[in-house]
Amino acid sequence: MKPSIYITRRLPKTVIESLNQEFQVEMWEKEDVPVPRDVLLEKVSGASALITMLSDGVDTELLEHAKELKVVANLAVGYDNIDLEAAKQNGVVICNTPDVLTDTTADLTFGLLMAAARRIVEADRYIKEGKWKSWSPLLLSGADIHHKTIGIVGMGSIGEAVAKRAKGFDMDILYHNRSRKPEAEERLGASYVSLDELLVQSDFVVVLAPLTSETEGLFQKEQFQAMKKSAFFINAARGAIVNEEALTEALKTGEIAGAGLDVFVKEPIDPDHPLLSLENVVALPHIASSSTETRIGMMNLCVQNIQAVLKGDKPKTQVT
């Protein structure tokens, strides 16, 4: 019997062609609907490998059903949907897709910053809804980006890539991270500061930190009150890093000027969520890495990791 692989979302046939040649492959065929939990638990029972999405919880319950499982390839750089300790105890290799998505995510993050500051989405709606009747000096006037201060919370590879883009806009670059990065400071002209100092000084606070026990709920009412009233909050990391009620209140009361959000605590977000009713919020459906080239690259990396593990080799991007 060939080893069995289960893929939790429909991927292009060209991506999985090499897997089909060597293994028994089954795939959830609904592209925009997550695989139901009961189906996943059933399918994993005989699987040697999984390709998972962020919406798939790989926890103790799943691993107890997965007696043959050797590797999980998560189609993301983050892996907060996976219980790493349980996977280790069960001898399951966990892989992710770092590096391949760095520049694409940085492009989107900086684009989100620009869209929020310059009211681009609001202006698009304005003209399409037939509201543009004349030119006026302050029509939909936004905030400048050049020569402002950007504060990056989480200076990993994506944070560094965003800082590189900010440098092109002649921005002053501050960052807060678990550890200092002297090489990045020298190369990018970035300055390491405490989180409190970053919040006070930044015109744009950009969150790119991983979701951990230390970062969960990091942004509360006090953090937004510390920011400039003219500042913008950008989150392209994980929704749970932010108290969304506190953010909503800060935006409503003018504690901060606006927000650009690619992630939310609950995804998909409820269309009636208060954040989505605010004109000073640009909201995106978790698409930071979603260029065709990058997503295909991420898929190919998942395939390569699975092939390596099932053949007894070391995977390219092993988490644990």
Average pLDDT value for residue range 100-121:
98
Domain check: are 36 and 110 in the same one?
A: no
Average pLDDT value for residue range 89-107:
97
For a pLDDT cut of 70, what percent of the chain falls above it?
Answer: 100
- State how far the Cα of 294 lies from the Cα of 140, in Å rounded to an integer: 34
Q: How many domains does the chain have?
A: 2
When pLDDT is cut at 50, 70 and 90, the band that residue 30 belongs to is confident
Average pLDDT value for residue range 48-64:
97
Report yes or no on 198 lying in a domain. Answer: yes
Domain check: are 306 and 166 in the same one?
A: no
Distances (CA, A) of 72 to 31, 44, 218, 317: 19, 11, 29, 11
Taking the alpha carbons at both ends of the chain, their separation in whole angstroms is 27
Q: Of 64, 214, 267, 279, which residue is the catalytic one?
A: 267
Which pLDDT score is estimated for 31?
75
- State how far the Cα of 311 lies from the Cα of 207, in Å rounded to an integer: 38
Domain check: are 112 and 25 in the same one?
A: no
Domain check: are 266 and 146 in the same one?
A: yes
Report yes or no on 223 lying in a domain. Answer: yes
Which pLDDT score is estimated for 1?
84
Domain check: are 93 and 109 in the same one?
A: no
Q: Please write the tens of the pLDDT for every residue from 225-275.
A: 999 999 999 999 999 999 999 999 999 999 999 999 999 999 999 999 999
Report yes or no on 319 lying in a domain. Answer: no
Domain check: are 126 and 67 in the same one?
A: no
Report yes or no on 150 lying in a domain. Answer: yes
Q: Which two tokens stand for residue 42?
A: 């059933």
As to burial, measured by CB atoms within 10 angstroms (0-12 exposed, 13-18 middle, 19+ buried), residue 144 is exposed
Active site residue 185: no
Q: Of 119, 165, 286, 295, which residue is the catalytic one?
A: 286
Domain check: are 254 and 234 in the same one?
A: yes
Reply yes or no on whether the pLDDT at 156 is more than 90.
Answer: yes
What's the chain's average pLDDT? 97
Domain check: are 126 and 79 in the same one?
A: no
Average pLDDT value for residue range 54-78:
96
Domain check: are 53 and 117 in the same one?
A: no
- State how far the Cα of 193 lies from the Cα of 177, in Å rounded to an integer: 9
Please report, for the domain that includes residue 165, its CATH number. Answer: 3.40.50.720
Q: Please write the tens of the pLDDT for every residue from 166-209.
A: 999 999 999 999 999 999 999 999 999 999 999 999 999 999 99
Domain containing 158 equals 102-283
Which pLDDT score is estimated for 161?
98
Reply yes or no on whether the pLDDT at 22 is more than 80.
Answer: yes
Report yes or no on 318 lying in a domain. Answer: no
Which pLDDT score is estimated for 112?
98
Which pLDDT score is estimated for 285?
97
Domain check: are 44 and 112 in the same one?
A: no
Question: CA 302, 306, 309, 313 torsion: positive or negative?
Answer: negative
Report yes or no on 316 lying in a domain. Answer: no
Q: Of 238, 244, 255, 295, which residue is the catalytic one?
A: 238
When pLDDT is cut at 50, 70 and 90, the band that residue 129 belongs to is very high
Domain check: are 76 and 207 in the same one?
A: no
Report yes or no on 53 lying in a domain. Answer: yes
Active site residue 273: no
Report yes or no on 317 lying in a domain. Answer: no
Domain check: are 93 and 197 in the same one?
A: no
Rg of the chain, C-alpha, whole Å: 21
